[in-house]
Amino acid sequence: MKSLPITIDSVRKAYGSYVALDDVSLDVQAGEFLTLLGPSGSGKTTLLMALAGFVRPDSGKLLLGDRDITRLAPNKRDIGIVFQNYALFPHMNVLANVEYPLALRKTPKAEARKRALDTLARVKLEGLSERNIAALSGGQRQRVALARAIVFEPRVMLMDEPLSALDRNLRETMQYEIRRLHDDLGITTIYVTHDQREALTMSDRVAVMNSGRIQQIDTPQRIYDCPSTRFVAQFMGEANILAPGSVRTIGGGDASHETLMIRAESFHLDAKLAGPDAVALEGMLHAKAFRGENWLLTLAPEGGQEVLVCIPSALAGGCAELATGQRVTVYASAAKVHAIPGAIA
């Protein structure tokens, strides 16, 4: 199948005085896996539903390839959709659920059955075609929903938080399964989630949304390491936003006169691990917690805000002996210190 690019051009949607989408523009490449990431109310699901045809924008345009779908009915868009609640038909068995999109498209029964069975094999549900939906586990239902979304070979797939109801271990397994399917099929995919790790793990690019706008769009690594705003920095993980002069070089001078971001896991207790260009930060140990794979320390620098420090357990020799109230110095490579433009919040 040949996937299509998506163009979102100056899309706006308001509900009374509440602006859900505020002049959103975005280009998604053919075959790309792009994630819309943000907190509740950020506009990510509204944007996805606009692409699906269930929300009509007040202004702007939506294109699949060269085709304007802004006012097109949902069933005319030929888009595969996986909803948060899966939207499976409980009165149909697994095979009938997967065959349903093909029946709507008047596919001959024998061909529809073969394609449905082939798709069930692709999502690793061989042998479950006759099973009732109610008899499936959460992970199996998720796979049925995936099979139904891809069986008719759409050129675009939309996924609205499809893993949110699964437990952590199964959710992580399904992240890799969904990405594997994407790579095998090459379908242009827009995926919605509020889970940062999910977005970083699965995506070619991530668009971070807040208050109806895209705050930043980039590769997962760039989004995490080089956030363009304070919001993105703090939303993407344990980020310390430090005022100018909060950190110093090993030689003793101020490291920067800009607002800085240092991720909690970028710090070391041993200056040698941070390298020759290390910066240092000193503070009183306010709290510590053992989290299995790491230790989380909370430092209170003099005259500054609290700083989170995450030390891997394998490198945390001496963490257990640190006492609350003790002064502690931590170090980070200069390459891990990112300046955030002060005028952007």
pLDDT one-digit tens code per residue, 300-333:
998 778 999 999 999 888 888 999 999 999 999 9
Hey, which residues does 279 pair with through a beta bridge?
249, 332
Residue 343 has pLDDT above 50, yes or no: no
Q: Where are the beta strands (DSSP E) in 112-270?
A: 156-160, 188-193, 205-210, 213-218, 239-242, 248-249, 260-263
pLDDT computed for residue 1 by the predictor: 62
Residue 252 has pLDDT above 70, yes or no: no
What's the half-sphere exposure (Cβ side, CA atoms, 13 Å) at 335?
4
Residue 286 has pLDDT above 60, yes or no: yes
pLDDT computed for residue 249 by the predictor: 59
pLDDT computed for residue 344 by the predictor: 39
How do residues 35-57 score in pLDDT, each as one tens digit?
999 999 999 999 999 999 999 99
pLDDT computed for residue 253 by the predictor: 47
**339 contacts 260 by C-beta, under 8 angstroms:** yes
How do residues 112-169 score in pLDDT, each as one tens digit?
999 999 999 998 898 899 999 988 888 888 889 999 999 998 999 999 998 887 888 8
Tokens matching residue 314: 């394998």
Distance, CA of 237 to CA of 225 (rounded, Å): 10
Residue 194 has pLDDT above 90, yes or no: yes
**132 contacts 54 by C-beta, under 8 angstroms:** no
Tokens matching residue 20: 């859900």
Percentage with pLDDT > 70 across the chain: 95
Higher-scoring residue by pLDDT: 49, 170: 49
Compute the mean pLDDT over every residue in the chain, rounded to the nearest whole number: 91
User: What does residue 167 show for φ and ψ, rounded to 5 degrees?
Assistant: -70, 165
- Give the burial class of 130: count Cβ atoms within 10 A of its Cβ; 0-12 exposed, 13-18 middle, 19 or more buried: exposed
Question: Residue 342: pLDDT band by 50, 70, 90 thresholds?
Answer: low
Could you tell me which of 160, 337, 178 has the C-alpha nearest to residue 259? Answer: 337
**128 contacts 160 by C-beta, under 8 angstroms:** no
pLDDT computed for residue 248 by the predictor: 64
Say which residues have a Cβ less than 8 Å from residue 30's Cβ, sequence separation at least 6.
Answer: 2, 3, 4, 5, 188
Residue 237 has pLDDT above 70, yes or no: yes
**321 contacts 339 by C-beta, under 8 angstroms:** no
pLDDT computed for residue 190 by the predictor: 98
pTM for the model stands at 0.88
Distance, CA of 190 to CA of 78 (rounded, Å): 15
Question: Residue 228: pLDDT band by 50, 70, 90 thresholds?
Answer: very high
Residue 257 has pLDDT above 70, yes or no: no
For each of the domains in the chain, give its residue range(s) and CATH number, in order of start.
6-228 (3.40.50.300), 239-339 (2.40.50.100)
Percentage with pLDDT > 90 across the chain: 68
Could you tell me the CA-to-CA distances from 145 to 118, 140, 159, 203 in Å, in that order?
A: 15, 9, 10, 20
pLDDT computed for residue 87 by the predictor: 83
